[in-house]
Amino acid sequence: MEKLSKEAFRQIDRKQYGYGMKDTGVTQIMKIGIAFYKKQVELVYRMDSE
């Protein structure tokens, strides 16, 4: 699951999901990659700021 959560996180960067938010004046973006299976969950996160 750790591998999947990291891949979800990389997808956020690769597809630049936060790009449009920066145009509106947002200076901090929390990126979170989550993978889950039944009651187990794995997540990775990072705060990006300009």
> Distances from the Cα of 36 to the Cαs of 5, 14, 42, in angstroms?
8, 21, 6
Instruction: Convert the pLDDT of each residue in 1-29 to its tens digit.
Output: 888 888 888 898 899 888 888 888 888 99
24 is written with which tokens? Answer: 């509106």
Q: Pick from 33, 36, 35: which is nearest to 11 by CA? A: 33
Which pTM was predicted? 0.71
6 is written with which tokens? Answer: 């990291």
| Three-state DSSP state, 6 | helix
HSE (CB half, 13 Å, CA atoms) of 26?
13
48 close to 29: Cβ distance less than 8 angstroms: yes
